[in-house]
Amino acid sequence: MNIGEIARRAGVSRSTVSYALSGKRPVSKDTRRKIQQVVDELGYRPSASARALANGRTSTLGLVFPPAGNHYTGMQLDFIGSVVEAAAAYDYDVLLSPSGMDSDRSFQRLLGERRVDGAILMEIRLEDDRVDHLAALDFPSVTIGRTARPEGGRWVALDHTALVQACVHHLADLGHRRVAFVNRPEQLLRAGYESAHRGLDGFTKAAAERGLTVRTYCCGDDAASGQSCVQGILHDDPATTALVTLNEAALGGLYRGLAQAGRHVPRDFSVTGVVASRWAETVTPQLTAADVPAADMGRLAVELLVERLDHPDAPPRHHLLTPPISLRASTGPSGATPEADTRAATTP
């Protein structure tokens, strides 16, 4: 079934059918109604490729999102879901490309074959060749995360420096003096992942301001690595009483490692970090954390990209988010008594 057959049955020209379906030119209500009736009777659906050829748009957004390791973490899947849901509200599909560099074949196909109208990039590095490549092509794009020089771009990001600083100050206010930092995997830090670097900067600065004794650790994105990391922390400095983490994928292992070492959370050891709320609430006791607003970040990124597509001359905008720390039950005073532990567990 095609436009010609619809035009024949509706008694109008092919161009009139095209205008009625695309909305490019006004068509009278009676004619539009007649065409819509034929379309409904025939169950016609316009070809996506034909529409793309006609208006130069694919109605598809690219999500360039390489998994940090050999799988996507729970938080990464949350971001993918948030982008897909937000794009659907604007009647866009999403094409996922697991590209890590601008030389990757998937990334080049995305651009060279013009499969998408614009792209959202994730897992951003401080020096990111994908971002530079898209900017040089003037290809519509938005990043979730920010490079070392984000000026003039469209992006949505968490202020990891400020968030980790807030976690450290929270622990210091509770009297903790020996604190560990559990970062993302070492290969991501070496590759320049901005969240890992900015989080580390925030931890180092806040610890220096409060005069804390600290150690920093890289940790794989899985529970076994988290458990091993805790063993290393307690081996290196048994007097450590708290940790801050950016690694939600290792969170369950961190808790398990503390339990195996006989450290009760939060009576003997406090845990906090930057984690999406639904993951912070899956552990026991629930994690006091700066909650990552994955749904909001996906929505804002799609809004910025659609704005760029609909209004190419609009000045670029960005969003730097600093969500507050949600006090749950995983932090308490250093050397707290059981009574104090009970009070911490009921903090709203």
Q: What are the residues whose beta carbons fall under 8 Å from the beta carbon of 121, sequence distance 6 or more?
A: 64, 65, 128, 130, 131, 134, 141, 142, 143, 144, 145
Pairing of strands 60-64, 118-121: parallel
Report residue 336's pLDDT band, with 50, 70 and 90 as the boundaries: very low
- pLDDT surpassing 60 at residue 55: no
- pLDDT surpassing 50 at residue 297: yes
Nearest to 189 by CA among 133, 227, 237, 246: 246
pLDDT of amino acid 348: 34
Residue 215 dihedral angles phi and psi, to the nearest 5°: -135, 150
Pick from 57-61, 288-292, 325-329: least confident: 57-61
Q: Tell whether the torsion through CA atoms of 283, 222, 94 and 295 is positive or negative.
A: positive
Is 257:263 a contact under the CB 8 Å cutoff? no
pLDDT of amino acid 105: 77
pLDDT of amino acid 124: 95
- pLDDT surpassing 50 at residue 119: yes
- pLDDT surpassing 50 at residue 311: yes
CA distance 61 to 115: 8
pLDDT of amino acid 132: 92
Of 54-68, 306-320, 331-345, which one has max mean pLDDT? 306-320
- Greatest alpha-carbon pair distance for the chain in Å reads 85
Q: What are the residues whose beta carbons fall under 8 Å from the beta carbon of 202, sequence distance 6 or more?
A: 160, 161, 162, 163, 164, 165, 168
The residues with which 243 forms a beta bridge, in sequence order, are: 180, 271
The average pLDDT across 86-104 equals: 84
- pLDDT surpassing 90 at residue 7: no
pLDDT of amino acid 52: 53
pLDDT of amino acid 64: 92
Report residue 115's pLDDT band, with 50, 70 and 90 as the boundaries: confident
* pTM greater than the 0.85 cutoff: no
The angle that helices 160-173 and 194-210 make with each other, rounded to 10 degrees, is 30
How far is CA 114 from each of CA 30, 102, 111, 308, rounded to the nearest angstrom? Answer: 37, 15, 5, 17
CA distance 47 to 255: 52
The average pLDDT across 139-143 equals: 96
Q: Between 91 and 121, where is the model more confident?
A: 121
The answer to whether the peptide bond before residue 67 is cis (omega within 30 degrees of 0) is no
State the average pLDDT for the chain. Answer: 88
- DSSP classification of residue 66: -
Report residue 344's pLDDT band, with 50, 70 and 90 as the boundaries: very low
The average pLDDT across 46-72 equals: 71
Is 213:276 a contact under the CB 8 Å cutoff? no
Residue 272 dihedral angles phi and psi, to the nearest 5°: -150, 175
Is 254:279 a contact under the CB 8 Å cutoff? no
* Structure tokens, 78: 């949350």
The average pLDDT across 253-275 equals: 97
CA distance 290 to 277: 8
Report residue 51's pLDDT band, with 50, 70 and 90 as the boundaries: low
- pLDDT surpassing 50 at residue 337: no
* Structure tokens, 265: 């959370």
* Structure tokens, 107: 């990334």
The average pLDDT across 223-246 equals: 97
Three-state secondary structure call for residue 242: strand
User: In the block, which residue shows the tokens 């026991």?
Assistant: 284
Pairing of strands 93-97, 178-183: unpaired
pLDDT of amino acid 93: 92
The average pLDDT across 60-66 equals: 91
Nearest to 341 by CA among 120, 174, 217: 174
CA distance 81 to 101: 23
Is 7:1 a contact under the CB 8 Å cutoff? no
Pick from 13-27, 57-71, 281-295, 333-347: least confident: 333-347
- pLDDT surpassing 50 at residue 309: yes
Report residue 48's pLDDT band, with 50, 70 and 90 as the boundaries: low
